[in-house]
């Protein structure tokens, strides 16, 4: 495998990954940083695992999505490291700033509490760099102890839905889709063992090269659409179960 070979990592990345560009960029050390994810180009100022989330956001749409007159070749995402909202905004604030009125939750029944929210601007480009579409997303971060869950929302999709996600619930005529995947991060000079090859073939792990050490992370996603707004939960190495995420989604759907 080549350095930073993401070709086989999450080959059918869920739309939620695309919308995590904001949350990944939120943790950049500089006040403002931009990342161009062209043909799996990586951001150099963030850790390897975070690069994967940023880069694979583009993997989902490469060669699969048609917008305007062409196909998406890359996605450019940008986000300030400074929170857009430090306290929970009002629906009117979000409408004034982003043009849509989402459902907002300050604290979930299971204890996850609002921490901050950050905006991201995303643009889909064709192979020649022509713009095929733009979107603005808003990512809410909720924390409980050392664990956190991210809830992104936007009123426009730049990609398609994942073929791997599974319909897990229908609540008030709203379909909720869930997906989970696990990746094994490997050092550049690592040689895959026979067991690794078996794990890759079986789908137990996806593999990505470029980490300083061997690490395994599990990602979970839950998404739905309500009143023209797309919502996406994402967790990384979290103890939150599918059923808990579904219950949290119910709370968002029920929010006034």
Q: For residues 63 and 49, what is the distance between their CA atoms, to the nearest angstrom?
A: 24
Residue with tokens 């070979």: 5
Q: What is the pLDDT of residues 143-154, one digit of tens each?
A: 999 999 989 898
- Burial of 43 from C-beta contacts in 10 A (0-12 / 13-18 / 19+): buried
Q: Mean pLDDT across the stretch 197-219?
A: 85
Q: What is the pLDDT of residues 28-59, one digit of tens each?
A: 333 333 333 333 333 333 344 444 444 443 33
In a domain, 2, yes or no: no
Q: What is the pLDDT of residue 25?
A: 35
Phi and psi, residue 167, nearest 5°: -70, 115
For the chain, give the mean pLDDT.
74
Q: What is the pLDDT of residue 77?
A: 63
What is the pTM for the complete model shown? 0.70
In a domain, 178, yes or no: yes
Beta bridge partners of 224: 231
Q: Is 15 helix (H, G, I), strand (E, B) or coil?
A: helix
Q: Which two three-digit tokens encode residue 148?
A: 């956190």
Write the CA distances from 45 to 18, 24, 51, 73, integer angstroms. Answer: 19, 11, 9, 23
- Burial of 163 from C-beta contacts in 10 A (0-12 / 13-18 / 19+): exposed
Q: Mean pLDDT across the stretch 205-213?
A: 81
In a domain, 10, yes or no: no
Q: What is the pLDDT of residue 31?
A: 34
Q: Number of structural domains, the chain? A: 1
Which of 40, 222, 63, 26 has its CA nearest to residue 137? 26
Whether residue 112 has pLDDT greater than 90:
yes
Can you say whether the dihedral through the CA atoms of 223, 162, 9, 197 is positive or negative?
A: positive
Q: What is the pLDDT of residue 109?
A: 97
In a domain, 200, yes or no: yes
Domain that holds residue 47: 15-254
Range of 15-24, 127-136, 246-255 with top mean pLDDT: 246-255
Residue 51 or residue 8, greater confidence: 51
Whether residue 140 has pLDDT greater than 60:
yes
């Amino acid at each position: 495998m080549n350095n930073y070979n993401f070709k086989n990592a999450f080959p059918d990345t869920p739309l939620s990954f695309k919308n995590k560009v904001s949350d990944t960029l939120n943790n950049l050390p500089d006040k403002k940083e931009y990342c161009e994810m062209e043909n799996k180009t990586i951001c150099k100022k963030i850790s390897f695992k975070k690069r994967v989330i940023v880069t694979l956001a583009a993997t989902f749409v490469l060669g699969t999505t048609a917008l305007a007159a062409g196909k998406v070749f890359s996605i450019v995402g940008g986000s300030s490291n400074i929170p857009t909202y430090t306290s929970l905004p009002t629906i009117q604030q979000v409408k004034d700033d982003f043009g849509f009125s989402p459902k907002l939750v300050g604290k979930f029944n299971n204890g996850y509490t609002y921490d901050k929210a950050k905006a991201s601007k995303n643009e889909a480009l064709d192979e020649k760099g022509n713009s095929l579409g733009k979107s603005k997303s808003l990512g809410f971060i909720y924390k409980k102890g050392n664990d956190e869950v991210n809830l992104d929302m936007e009123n426009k999709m730049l990609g398609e839905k994942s073929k791997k996600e599974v319909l897990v619930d229908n609540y008030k005529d709203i379909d909720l889709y869930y997906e989970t995947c696990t990746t094994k991060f490997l050092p550049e000079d690592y040689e895959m063992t026979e067991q690794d090859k078996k794990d890759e073939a079986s789908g137990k792990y996806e593999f990505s090269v470029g980490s300083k050490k061997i690490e395994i992370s599990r990602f979970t996603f839950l998404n739905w659409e309500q009143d023209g707004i797309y919502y996406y939960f994402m967790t990384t190495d979290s103890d939150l179960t599918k059923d808990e995420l579904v219950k949290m989604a119910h709370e968002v759907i029920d929010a006034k």
